[in-house]
Structure 1
Amino acid sequence: MSVCRDLRLYLRVLNSLGMMCWQFETEQCLLQATPERERYALVYAVVILSATTGAFTYAHVQPQRFHLKIYNRTGNFYETVIFRSSCLVLWLLYVCLYLRRHRHMALVQYLLTINRKCVIGSADRQFLNNFILYAALSVISFGNYINGYSRTGTDSIALVLSVVVYTYAFLVLCLLLVFFVSLKQIMAAGLTHYNAELYHGMSFDQIPSLNCRQEILALCEGELNECFGLLMLPIVALVLLISPSGPFYLISTVLEGKYGPKQYILISLTSIFWDVPWMIMLVLMLRTNGITVEANKTAKILAKVPRTGTGLDRMIEKFLLKNLRQQPILTAYGFFALDKSTLFKLFTAIFTYMVILVQFKEMENSTKSINKF
């Protein structure tokens, strides 16, 4: 049996990182919040909250230690903002996950039931591929941080804190992203299952399938948005803040000739791939729209059902009138849609912020040049 069956691999890693500390009964596919797991969740949350608060306070009290020698004032201010924001987002996520842990458990439990009932075994490979992608990008991200910050002349304490905080932030935030993608895939597979039942012949016997289909959509627009939409909001905001750092690092180092020929290629590759892991995970999360596709298929299937002159016809017509224009929309707690339409807006915002950073950098350099004369 696949190691990703019932998302058990995800649940183990989430538990090890103190985010969703539940005991999983394999035979009954049952999640339980045992007293031991509850204590573990509380201790882990307290440790993370204390560590992030300490790192945030240290960066606020000693900002000069986080200054990169290769950056000017604009670049160093941007760097300290990223570090503090990463600590703040981790703090908020662990508070939210701990306070809503029972609500999250009920949601995941329901989706695991759908997974066993409706999803075929081939979906296990899809879950596993998502996790392998996440693991590979985590290694790339860690390598980028080690190589990038070790060549900037940063204070040793700030260097360790930066690498640890950024790497851990990637592990936690992107694990939530890929877990969210897998939950969406379970919902889409459930809709596919019930659409297949309707396709093979609509009758009064298929009414339960139609009701189950509506339950999944209601869960998508309700509890999934409430639980994970709130988590996606600070994650996407942080990615939006971090994304210009790669191009800015390239402009401030390689393009200004601050490294020799031997380091040129390595630093260039680090700069180019600096944001790639974050962007791949974000695109994966926003491009997964199987729920919408399968929801629209239901109306097409029902529209082709032959009319029999019975109460079934009236039920189908009523359903079509009510759901024809209804689109399941996943949002970041109502602030923006979590679908492909947001990708272009995010890339536009990232490019805009990068241009603003470069403009401030050039203004500072021009001011310094004028003051020398």
Structure 2
Amino acid sequence: MSPGLCRDLRIYLRLLHLLGMMCWHFDSEACELSATPPGERYALLYTLAMLVASAGCFTFVHLQPQIIHLTIYNRTGNFYETIIFRSTCLVLCLLYGILYLRRHRHRKLVQDMLRLNRKCLDKSTDKQFLHYLILYGVLTVLGFGNLLNGYSQSGMAPLALALCLVVYVYAFLVLCLLLVFFVCLKMIMAAGLGHYNRQLCLEVLPSELNGRQRILAICQGELADCFGQLMLPIVALILLMGPSGPFYMISTIMEGKFESRTVPIIFISSATWGLPWIIMLVLMLRSNGITVEANKTAKILAKVPRTGTGLDKMIEKFLLKNLRQQPILTAYGFFALDKSTLFKVIFEGPYLTIHPNYLNYFCSFLRQSLRTW
């Protein structure tokens, strides 16, 4: 694989184009993304097709939920299964709608990131881009294998099995590709900040400080605005899917619904059922290089010897203005997209954190479901 394919995120852009999300032409010489008429038509047709297909699957399962019911599940389990399926369809509709309506803003943002990546080239980020892509492919295969084994062993009808596999695997391809792409953009911004920090170690120049400020402005502005709307439904769906693996294990293996020879295989599948989604979520939230590099700037400037010139005033003014300014990426203001909120997001959930009454509602719903069970 050519290094440029990962360094310029070209392979990511090709995958995004193939899936109808970011249909742009990349000019490698000028490092420019352009919206061509064929690309615009492809994006429109693909988006309409996805909206129709997702709405059709949602309506079909809503009118006939028994189609995807598992015979080994009780009524509570099948209700949970239909909720996950319909939520997946809704999230796909929402994401494709947002990506198409805001495609020009996304194009400008990604183009700025690609130019920053060329200006502040970091070979370690190029390798990370490739590693993340390989991880994405491995987790896709793992998720497909778990779904195929779990649903087929549960006696699901062929039509329902095919429908669930197509919807869930495609959703993983789309949603997790956006997550990995978002992580890559964050790495480019962190590499850019690191580049300006290294320049500051050599000499304090207003251009280096201005370059650093432009990166943070993009981080807190366009990046947070464009991808914050996308991350919110993705994270919410992952939190909804998280308990499905343990639930499947409790409802099948622990109740003795499989033969002893098939139990080890089912146990492995159910234990790793939601692992691909969780790994992608952790990867996205733990990436905190932007904050680390932003905080290094203040430490570097604090060590600069004072000369009694206008440079001292410029440094002091910069520190006073930016010392408390933290580059926080949020999912549309609901929660921060960094490792500091990883525990809170996984174990409390964004809506439970903001609206505590939802927790009481969920507990009462769970008690009622257990009585029915």
**TM-score over 0.5 for the pair:** yes
* Contact 1:75-1:361 within 8 A present in 2 as well: no
Question: What displacement does 1:361 show?
Answer: 5.4
Q: Partner of 2:332 in structure 1?
A: 333
The TM-score with structure 1 as length reference comes to 0.94
Residue in structure 2 matched with residue 131 of structure 1 by the alignment = 133
Structure 1 residue 64 displacement after superposition: 1.1
- Could you list the per-position Cα deviations for residues 326-347 of structure 1 after superposition, in whole angstroms to 9, with x for gaps in the alignment? 1110000111100112211133
Shift of 1:150: 1.1
Q: CA offset at residue 356 of structure 1?
A: 8.2
Q: Deviations over 1:64-97 (max 9, x none)?
A: 1111111111111100000000000000000000
SS of the residue 1:262 aligns to:
coil
Q: Using the alignment, how far apart are the partners of 1:345 and 1:331 within structure 2?
A: 14
Give ranges in structure 2 of 5+ residues lacking alignment.
Answer: 350-358
Correspondence for 2:240 = 241
Q: Which amino acid aligns with 1:73?
A: R
Picking from 155, 158, 182, the partner of 2:160 is: 158
- Percent of paired sites with the same residue: 65
Distance 1:183 1:234, change over 3 A: same
Structure 1 residue identity aligned to 2:268:
L
Opposite residue 10 of structure 2, the aligned amino acid is R
Residue 253 of structure 2: aligned partner: 254
Partner of 2:68: 66
1:193 aligns with 2:195: yes
Q: 18, 21, 32: which one pairs with 1:19?
A: 21
Distance in 2 between residues matched to 1:309 and 1:347, nearest whole Å: 51
Counterpart for residue 355 of structure 2: none
Q: Distance in 2 between matches of 1:63 and 1:91?
A: 20
Q: Which runs of 5+ in 1 are unaligned?
A: 366-373
Distance 1:250 1:358 in 2: 18
Note the C-alpha offset of 1:362. 3.9
| 2-structure distance, mates of 1:93, 1:252 | 32
Once residues 61 and 111 of structure 2 are traced to their aligned partners in structure 1, the CA distance between those partners, rounded to angstroms, is 40
Q: Distance in 2 between matches of 1:293 and 1:5?
A: 22
Pick one of 145, 148, 165 that aligns with 1:146: 148
Q: Tell me the CA shift for residue 120 of structure 1.
A: 2.2
**Structure 1 segment 5-84 matched on structure 2, within 5 A:** 5-84=7-86
Counterpart position of 1:104: 106
Cα-Cα RMSD: 1.7
Letter in 1 for 2:372: E
Q: Distance in 2 between matches of 1:88 and 1:29?
A: 35
Q: Which residue of 2 aligns with 1:306?
A: 305
Q: Is the 8 A contact 1:248 1:358 kept in 2?
A: no
- The alignment status of 1:364 with 2:372, answered yes or no, reads yes
Give the match's secondary structure for 1:24. strand
Aligned match of 1:273: 272
* 1:139-160 alpha-carbon deviations (Å, 9 max, x no partner): 1011111111112222332221
Say if 1:269 and 1:360 are closer, same or farther in 2 by CA, change over 3 A.
farther
Deviation by residue 1:257-291 (Cα, 9 ceiling, x = unmatched): 10011110010000000011000000000000000
- Once the 2 structures are TM-superposed, how far is the Cα of residue 178 of structure 1 from its aligned partner? 0.2
Q: How many residues align?
A: 362
Question: What SS class does the counterpart of residue 21 from structure 1 fall into?
Answer: coil
SS in 2 for 1:261: coil
Look up the equivalent residue of 1:131 and give its one-letter code.
Answer: L
Q: Equivalents in 1 of 2:123, 2:286: separation in Å?
A: 23
Q: What corresponds to 1:178 in structure 2?
A: 180
Taking structure 2 as the reference length, the TM-score comes to 0.94
Partner Cα distance (1:329, 1:191) in 2 = 15
> For 2:335, what is the secondary structure of its paired residue?
coil
Write the distance in 1 (CA, Å) between the matches of 2:364 and 2:42. 44
- Post-superposition shift, 1:357? 8.4
